[in-house]
Amino acid sequence: MTSFRGASDELFPDPVNARAEIFVSDYPTAITPADPARLDTRPPLFVFRVAADGPAGEEGTRRVLGALRGPLDDRGPLVPYALVPAAEEPVLLTEQAGQLLENGTPRRMTPDRYPHFAVVRSLVAHIRDHPQQSAGGYAEDLRRHACDRQQAERRGLLGRLPRAASTDVAPDGGDVKGWLLRVFWLSFTCHLPRWVWSRLVSRKVMRRWLGRMREAGGRRDLYQVMAHVATTQAPRLRMASDERRREQALQTLEKLLLRALLEDLATPRTGRYLPKRRRRTARPVLLVEVPPPGADGARRAERFLRVLHELRDTAPRPGPLVIAVGRPDEALLAELGARESTLSHAATALGSQDATPVAFTFDEASLTGPGLPIARVEPHRRFRTSWRTTTAFLAATAVLALTAGGVAVERVRDDGDHSCVGGAASVADRARSRPVPLNAKGWYTGALDAIADQNRRAEAYAAKGRDVRTVVAFVSSPPRTEDDMRFDGTIPELRGIAMWQQQLNQDAGSDENTVPLRVEVRSTGEAYRDAVPQARKLVAEVRDEKGTEDHERIVGVLAYAQSRDETRAALQVLGQEGVPTVGTTATANEMLAGDATRSYWPFTPDNEREARIEAAFAAGADIVARRDDHDTCSPARRAVVIRNSADLYSRSLAGRFVSAFPGTTRVFDFNQEGDFGPQPPDGAPTLTSASVLAEQLCKALAEEPRSVVYWSARAKDFTAFISAMDKRGTCVDRPVTVLGGNELTNVAQTGAYAEQSWLRLYYSAHRLPGGHPSLSAETRQFLSRYDAFVRTYGAGADPWRQDGHSAVSYDAFHVLSEAVNQARSRDERIERRSVLITLAGGVTPFNGATGYIAYAPDVNAPPADKTLVILRQLGTQPQAVLVCGAFDMGESSRKQGPPCVP
């Protein structure tokens, strides 16, 4: 085992040409950033390999870990951290890491509480240490053990009450009266509190996370789930001679324990004065030593890393920063999918959402050579007194207030007002008598004509000697039918691009510092199936620009409007070449991973934030019609989630909503093509028929009328579902509330559902609708320009004036054009690398059509506190019922309060 005593004075190795100074600079600020909102990012797993064997390898590992630990400790921890050395005991590394975090609370910092970890640790330890006891009635044994452990560790109120086995605290007396008194006393001081505590804990753990794991198997009681795990894994645990099977059992236990720990390390609930409900001031850090294969502790370290990687997508934010240092097995790195990187790229990943583990190898020379000091972390908020002092002060104040004459308590009264948010009307209310005539070919051609006009204008500037460059807009295939147009946002997206190009080229006439831009629109096929080949074609073009006119040189890309596996892979191709890319309406967190972090900047709020807002909205707002009075509503107790697990956007948004929704959930996997891939890990039913889905949904609504339908699948599937519901009519005698994502915007605003009087539809959007009282001057100006554009290029009526896709692409192009303009000030050639550097530094903030746009420097994340709106569809006119984020300069989610979150 490596000793780390005195390791805080170590210098971080400085390999030649590795840009270690960038990582050394960014490491402390990633743990304690100046802006607390940046704690909401989830950095990837870091693996620092030591390329040395024997004592030299141990010394190198000690040096790297010591250098990383030094900034976190100054005669006591400055932030919550755990340095976990190589060891064989305890068998589960998570157990040791959690105990180190729990016992190492920084002085005068609000401690994290570990209710999930504590109870699961006690159960897991009992299962691991007593595999022979997993027989009938084991669930009750585990329940009693958890209570005993809680009392032994003196946790909470239960830890301060008499234990169930204790009778010396009961009243004396040998007669019937004494016996009754003893029974009464023990019931209310021992047995009842244990019964209540065990059930409350079970309910909290099951509803928060365990009930959605495969290991739960549909069970709803914590102790039954753990008893089932024990019964399944006990035979393997008893096989001391079969290391492979025993390792499988330990990995299952590690998974449960680590998931519990990650739940406790999520962003805590906040409060102004309550001493243990303060905001997180630092990111927890786990430093893990990884011995070489076969050495003591190697197996437990590798098991921990595998489980951590497996849980990353389902665990709550922000999660700890985990850095593994040592000599891991090559097979482990391949299993993790770790990509070899430089220290400068590792520094960038510290503030990213990258799901791909980052690996870096220290050669033997760097481990013995000079190094760089890492500055100590500085939590941006430290408390002058400990939370215990604050608790005592508040308690004394409360006693004095009560003694002086009582305390005024503000009560939330039920005043009988349960009006439905946005009204009780359906999508049929105020609907058009006739739907808007759709002109797929005319509208698409009109948008391309507008871009062609502006391209000619830009080329005219180039002919006069002006600096002109080209950007590429990747879109899906041109819509051939009305259905194609309804289910795809290509036309609004192209309109927004054409509108900003028009404004940009107009400004260039009077401003010599504005770089006019050409736009090449490139189709990537239906549902972006050709996104990767088209991205490779573009990369080949930019690699060989000999003979290319300056105005045809490509300096950036606008893409993509949808989160799909194909578009995610295409971003990897563009990232490898370093092609500057600004996103439009793709929202899946998974889009920003791997090589995409080198060149991709999303524009819209990611699925994580959207799902949290929508889950809080569904659970806290009156949106579900009451059974006895359809004109009044109540919050949703249950969410029936419809997803398509084969679709990246759908499974990402649905998974995050299920994690965030505080009530119960039921998930249906719906794919009309039957493409489900592997069986969904949560065991959700797979359906291919819209009629069967409608039938199953009606049954679910009958079981729990206070249910909201959360739709994360695509708009085409939603339309098929609506049609099936309308035909069957088994539960359309009462209103059905549906909450969906931005995917439903296009089709909903065409009036496709205008006859469905049973449908109450809410969905997300990315700008305020026209007519809203808080509309900014820039958004009003955008709407005026949009109306003028439609009159010129629209070829008839238009249903999408309130759609956010055009405003998103308008502002996204604005961001890219600003990056080009600012890059020109330092680089007359306007190279793509200069545009990347500008994007990385954060373009100058501006007020746009979608709100205030301000990218944080050195973070590949959407603009800070980006606008998210929840609309209520009424006929063809959507109504904003919730507005979150910086929809105008000076506005923020912090001022708006729950359910808005930054």
Query: What does pLDDT average to over the chain?
Result: 85
Handedness of CA 110, 115, 121, 122 (dihedral sign): positive
Cα(149)–Cα(61) distance, integer angstroms: 36
Cα(619)–Cα(606) distance, integer angstroms: 20
Res. 671: pLDDT tops 80: yes
Longest dimension (CA), the chain: 111
pLDDT at 314: 78
765 pairs with which residues across the strands?
Answer: 869
In contact, 192 and 200? CB cutoff 8 Å: no
Instruction: Write the pLDDT tens digit of every residue in 69-117.
Output: 999 988 888 889 999 998 877 789 999 999 999 888 787 666 677 888 9
Instruction: Write the pLDDT tens digit of every residue in 373-394.
Output: 999 998 765 555 555 666 677 6
Q: Output the pTM of the full model.
A: 0.65
CB atoms under 10 Å from CB of 426, counted, come to 21
pLDDT tier at 411 (50, 70, 90 boundaries)?
very low
Lowest-confidence segment of 426-435, 628-637, 668-677, 826-835 by average pLDDT: 426-435
pLDDT tier at 821 (50, 70, 90 boundaries)?
very high
Cα(365)–Cα(373) distance, integer angstroms: 18
Res. 6: pLDDT tops 60: no
pLDDT at 728: 74
Instruction: Write the pLDDT tens digit of every residue in 112-170.
Output: 778 889 899 999 988 888 877 656 678 888 888 888 777 666 555 555 555 554 444 44
pLDDT at 858: 79
pLDDT tier at 183 (50, 70, 90 boundaries)?
low
pLDDT at 743: 85
Res. 189: pLDDT tops 70: no
Helix (H, G, I), strand (E, B) or coil at 453: helix
Mean pLDDT of 624-636: 90
Lowest-confidence segment of 10-19, 107-116, 591-600 by average pLDDT: 107-116
Percent of the chain with pLDDT over 70: 85
Higher pLDDT, 1 or 82: 82
Mean pLDDT of 770-790: 93
Q: How many helices (H) and strands (E) does the chain have?
A: 28, 25
Helix (H, G, I), strand (E, B) or coil at 627: coil
Res. 575: pLDDT tops 60: yes
Res. 664: pLDDT tops 60: yes
Mean pLDDT of 655-663: 92
pLDDT at 180: 58
Q: Which residues contact 843 (CB under 8 A, 6 or more apart)?
A: 815, 818, 819, 822, 855
Helix (H, G, I), strand (E, B) or coil at 479: coil
Res. 271: pLDDT tops 70: no
Mean pLDDT of 853-863: 89
pLDDT at 507: 94
pLDDT at 409: 30
Instruction: Write the pLDDT tens digit of every residue in 289-323.
Output: 999 988 888 999 999 999 999 888 778 877 899 99
pLDDT at 163: 54
